[in-house]
Amino acid sequence: MQPLKSSKNKTLIMIISGTNGAKLWLLSNLYEICWDTNGNVYFAEQSNYQVHRCTIDNSSGNDWIINNHNGSYNIRGEVPGTIHTILLAANQISEPYWGYNDVKLRYLVYDLWTFRKNFSLTNDILTLTKFTIHFDQIDTIANITLNQCFLGQTNNMFVAYSFDITRNCLKSTNELRLDFESPVIYALDQSQSYNDSVPPFCPPDIQHAFNYYSNNQTCQLFYSNLTFIYVQYQLNTVILFVNQTNLAIQLARSVVRPTVCPSAVWNPNGTTIAGSASGNSGSSSSQLNNPFDIAVDSALSLYVADYSNYRIMKWINGSANSTVVGPQLGYGVGPDTQHLHSATALYLDSTESNLYIADTHNCRVLKWNMVSNSVTVAVGGSGCGSSLNTFYWSDGIYVDRFSNIYVSDCNNNRVLKFPPNSTSSTLSVIVAGTGTAGSALNQLSTPGGIYVDESDNDTLYVVDRLNNRVMKYRANDTNRTVVAGGNGPGSSFKQLYDPRDVYVDSFGTVYVSDTANHRIMKWVKNARNGTLIVGVTGVTGTTPSRLNNPYGIRLDKSGNLYVADYTNDRIQRFTIDNSSC
């Protein structure tokens, strides 16, 4: 068994094999990925003390095209394999090891051979930034190209090779090509270049004076259970690996959080990337009306909960106009999933294929699957209430790597956690608050935005709006702590005033939309006082440096700050400046 990669990140694994569909594994603290000689994939899950095995289905047929230089052979074949095994399987040659067939087939080792394979990449993969192709074992002399981009050459079968791929070499439909030279001719050319002979100097008679080593180095071997293409950006990894007859795709994603040093600052002047820069509301494709929450994907596409227009809008990065996604029919009350009654929270899951929507007045969370373009009820949907299968108004949702759904239940002063595949009758558990409003450390008063730090044992952060603080709940720990505010309503840097949303970066810095103070604050880990990031305390306006009731906040993969500027009917992006780090 060979290890591929070690990682302690919490990861979602998806393997797509041939034409047989996809399988998902949700893993915690992924430690190692291994393949055995039969192509089975093993995932070692450290924190759950489990090992998972996935068997790759190789039933989709031979999908490598192999031909020689003059085209007299043009067949499909399997990898791992050699020219001899591939031609034998295609009934093109006799058994090489029978009688003197190895002598009769000697012409094969003087020929040039090409292996070609086509594969497709989806748009979400093409938006990533780092691409590498890896070959575990190739015998021996091969030039490798991808879509006519030369990647590199191999000249030793006993080492692995990895080559970086420039982004402009990749397309939605691709051709990987390996052109093998004759190792016999290569060895002879090398011996002449170095004025030396190729050992052994006295080959046995059975070789008919033909060099033994050269004869056995001519398999034109493309053999590997660990040949793959992988793409990586921060915690996001995509692996396309060539295994037997399939091009399989393994998508490993974790929640992507930028690495933002605690001393980083942001440009105080924001750029309007959605809605009206002058603060004008509207319902056209370029306008918003009270944007409540936002989500940003790895391609920097923006999703907006357009509260008073009863819709979810998507802005592709750099576009002046948006499209309606998810529910298509605007305002509506009842079980129909194509209507909304005020969207107040969004969450884009770690696969970036599902967008969760808090349909607040319908007391449910919807899930829009981007692949199938279907909208379903994820939790709730049986009316508003205070039982464990219902909630009443939600300003915050979060979906973890196991597909547990956290819901901020504002009017019931609690945070609920629903298990995966919940129905309208599925009971949740209370993970924060008691259900009764209060200011004690175990109580909440109108909870707003929430965030789960999956890298810190699923620590839960909750905006406790009317207590003007942000609370921190460690999993399976009865201690609750105030990490921001908690000193009554006010405008000093140790206070908050009706905060709405929270975000936590990889350093544990807590970001808060301090709504009634019209500013965004941050609290570095263990700080008693906050730091003003953007906005002017207590001052509203539509200039680039002003905010007017900021609600949802997010950081993108580079650390740029996005703010749903609710009353100004726009989304502002503030560029990070890491020069102070």
Q: pLDDT tier at 445 (50, 70, 90 boundaries)? A: very high
pLDDT mean over 358-372: 94
Q: Which two tokens stand for residue 479?
A: 């201690």
Q: From CA 469, how far away is CA 119, in angstroms rounded?
A: 51
pLDDT tens digits, one per residue of 344-361: 999 998 878 899 999 999
* CATH 2.60.120.260 intervals, the chain: 64-189
Please say if the pLDDT value at position 193 is more than 80.
Answer: no
SS (H, E, C) 274-306: EECCCCCCCCCCCCCCCEEEEEECCCCCEEEEE
pLDDT band per the 50, 70, 90 thresholds, residue 385 = very high
Q: pLDDT digit string (tens) for 463-508? A: 999 999 999 999 877 779 999 999 999 999 999 999 999 999 989 9
> Which letter, b or e, does each residue of 480-497 get, where b requires 16 or more Cβ atoms within 10 Å of its Cβ?
beebbbbeeeeeebbbbb
- Could you tell me the pLDDT band of residue 54, with boundaries at 50, 70 and 90? low
Q: What pLDDT does 477 receive?
A: 73
Name the CATH topology of 265-309+342-577.
Neuraminidase (2.120.10)
- For the chain, how big is the Rg over CA atoms in Å? 29
Give pLDDT, residue 517.
Answer: 98
Residue found under tokens 């090398």: 190
pLDDT of residue 497: 98
Tokens describing residue 123: 């748009």
Q: Is 411 helix (H, G, I), strand (E, B) or coil?
A: helix
pLDDT of 28 reads: 46
Strand partners, 523: 510
Cα separation, 521 vs 507, whole angstroms? 16
Q: How far apart are CA 420 and CA 51, in angstroms?
A: 21
Peptide linkage before 200 cis (omega within 30 of 0): yes
Model-level pTM?
0.62
**Could you check whether the bond before residue 140 is cis, i.e. omega within 30 degrees of 0?**
yes
- Across 190-210, b (16+ Cβ under 10 Å) vs e yields eeeeeeeeeeeeebeeebeee
Alpha-helix residue ranges (DSSP H) falling in 149-204? 183-193
> Given pLDDT bands bounded at 50, 70 and 90, which one contains residue 55?
low
Q: The domain 64-189 is classified under which CATH number: 3.40.50.2300, 1.10.287.130, 2.60.120.260, 3.40.50.720?
A: 2.60.120.260
Contact at 8 Å (CB) between 393 and 345? no
Provide the pLDDT confidence category of residue 23 given band limits of 50, 70 and 90: very low
Sign of the alpha-carbon dihedral angle for 421, 423, 426, 431: positive
Q: What integer best gives the mean pLDDT of the chain?
A: 80
Return the minimum-mean-pLDDT range out of 5-9, 108-112, 199-203, 544-548. 5-9
DSSP string, 522-572: EE-TT-SS-EEEEEBTTB--SSTT--SSEEEEEE-TT--EEEEETTTTEEE
Is the separation of the CB atoms in 320 and 314 below 8 Å?
Answer: no
Q: Cβ distance 358 to 344 under 8 Å?
A: yes
* 3 state SS of 345: strand
Return the percentage of the chain with pLDDT > 70, whole number: 76
Task: Mean pLDDT check: name the lowest of 102-111, 119-128, 391-400, 535-544.
Answer: 119-128
With 0-12 / 13-18 / 19 or more C-beta atoms within 10 angstroms meaning exposed / middle / buried, residue 580 is exposed
